[in-house]
């Protein structure tokens, strides 16, 4: 049984009363510390030991992070960055900008620097020959074909550099704050960098935004012309494993983004910087197993239950009730038992009217004595309409007065 401190409501009311200082300051501190709005759990080496240099384990549904090790260090992602290459293709296919039957020509640049002459992983598309987009997608996902990635990049944007700019822009749009792309392949460039966290967020984005294309990562093999390619993901065939992408270059070592489902839960594991390919396989499998067996879901608030109050400026009411989007549940380690939880409501305040019931306006940040941390979105429990000029003026005076209240 987990002891949950219901004093969160009193905490929330206190924070709401001093929204400008207390809650806004809290938001800034969290953003600076985490570098993202996603929850973070820093597990000790005694709980899980890894040979990788950079690791993160994320729950795909909630975004909760179950384990991290130097997850915000910018490193070379190698071919794992092809996840962004295929993301741009998925986006174009979903919007109708491209069709699976569209053909792309293998240029001299693509053939020489990504094909057979390059000595790197290649789909082996002949020079000046056309290949269908669906074939090139399979070549990138299953074989990690650099020639396929270059052909797609040149066909969409005209050059690798122009396509890499689109990759960086899309990355920023979806919340990858520490990624810069310089090519569509992941071949070494000192400025082509990602973090383990960004790779996990990218994988989660693909799962959520492109469910029709996500099964492509589970494809075990592909036949192209006279070549038969086997999926390079060493975890394929392991129980529950669904994808996603491997990576290796000399400067970065071996890396893997892996997704797996078990008993209705899906996890995303990212591990970068192994010295040996076999370590990458065994270590990542252990990480996934640890995540499935070592954590369980706990409901802390019922659907519709008021969790706290947020200060509102210029509205028909001064305080807004905050509720969860349905039941509020969090993931916590199974051990130790009898964990106590601390909760904080995080929002940039005061909130400005009008606000519609159901709008996401805050987050509930829950941490346990074991070190686990989850972050759950909170929504407005009621509508708040915009007030008149007199009320807004009064709220401005209250807002300025609260700024002078010491924390």
Query: Which residues have a catalytic role annotated?
Result: 79, 82, 144
Given a contact cutoff of 8 angstroms between Cβ atoms, the answer to whether 71 and 58 are in contact is no
Distance CA 312, CA 314 (A): 7
**Centroid of chain to Cα 275:** 25
Give 27's contacts (C-beta < 8 A, 6+ positions apart). 346, 347, 348
Q: Are strands 295-301 and 340-346 parallel, antiparallel or unpaired?
A: unpaired
Exposure on the CB side of residue 109, measured as CA atoms within 13 A: 14
Distance CA 155, CA 104 (A): 6
- Cα dihedral: 305, 15, 35, 270 (round 10): -30
Which stretches of 115-195 are DSSP H helices? 133-142, 146-157, 160-173
Whole-number Cα distances in Å, 337 to 1, 330, 373: 7, 15, 16
Whole-number Cα distances in Å, 222 to 241, 323, 325, 347: 18, 48, 42, 48
Distance CA 317, CA 362 (A): 17
Farthest-apart Cα atoms in the chain, separation: 77
Given a contact cutoff of 8 angstroms between Cβ atoms, the answer to whether 148 and 140 are in contact is yes
Give 299's contacts (C-beta < 8 A, 6+ positions apart). 327, 328, 329
Distance CA 104, CA 264 (A): 39
- Percent helix, percent strand, percent coil in the chain, to nearest 5: 35, 30, 35
**Centroid of chain to Cα 140:** 21
Q: Are strands 253-262 and 241-249 parallel, antiparallel or unpaired?
A: antiparallel
């Amino acid at each position: 049984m987990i002891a949950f401190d219901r004093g969160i409501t009193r905490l929330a009311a206190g924070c709401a009363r001093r929204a400008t200082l207390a809650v806004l300051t809290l938001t800034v501190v969290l953003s600076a510390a985490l570098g993202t709005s996603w929850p973070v759990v820093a597990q000790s080496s005694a709980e899980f030991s890894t040979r990788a240099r950079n690791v993160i384990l994320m729950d795909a549904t909630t975004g909760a992070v179950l384990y991290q090790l130097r997850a915000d260090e910018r490193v070379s992602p190698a071919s794992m960055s092809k996840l962004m290459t295929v993301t741009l293709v998925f986006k174009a296919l979903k919007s109708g900008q491209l069709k699976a039957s569209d053909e792309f020509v293998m240029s001299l640049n693509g053939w020489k620097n990504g094909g057979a002459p390059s000595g790197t992983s290649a789909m082996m598309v002949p020079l000046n020959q056309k290949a269908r987009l669906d074939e090139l997608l399979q070549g990138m996902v299953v074989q990690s074909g650099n020639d396929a990635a270059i052909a797609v990049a040149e066909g969409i944007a005209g050059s690798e550099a122009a396509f890499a700019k689109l990759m960086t822009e899309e990355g920023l749009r979806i919340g990858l704050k520490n990624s810069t792309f310089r090519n569509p392949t992941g071949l070494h460039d000192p400025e082509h960098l990602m973090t383990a966290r960004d790779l996990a967020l990218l994988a989660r984005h693909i799962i959520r935004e492109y469910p029709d294309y996500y099964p492509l990562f589970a494809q075990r093999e592909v036949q192209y012309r006279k070549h038969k390619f086997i999926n390079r993901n060493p975890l394929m065939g392991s129980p529950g494993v669904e994808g996603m992408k491997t990576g290796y270059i000399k400067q970065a070592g071996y890396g893997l983004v892996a997704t797996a489902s078990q008993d209705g839960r899906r996890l995303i594991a990212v591990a970068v910087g192994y010295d040996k390919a076999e370590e990458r396989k065994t270590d990542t499998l252990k990480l996934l197993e640890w995540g499935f067996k070592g954590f369980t879901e706990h409901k802390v608030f019922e659907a519709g239950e008021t969790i706290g109050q947020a200060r509102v400026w210029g509205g028909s009411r001064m305080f807004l009730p905050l509720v969860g989007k349905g039941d509020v549940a969090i993931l916590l380690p199974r051990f130790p038992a009898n964990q106590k939880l601390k909760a904080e409501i995080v929002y940039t305040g005061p909130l400005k009217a009008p606000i519609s019931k159901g709008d996401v306006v805050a987050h509930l940040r829950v941490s346990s004595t074991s070190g686990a941390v989850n972050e759950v979105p909170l929504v407005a429990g009621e509508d708040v309409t915009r007030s008149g000029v007199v009320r807004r003026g009064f709220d401005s005076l209250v807002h300025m007065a609260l700024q002078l209240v010491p924390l």
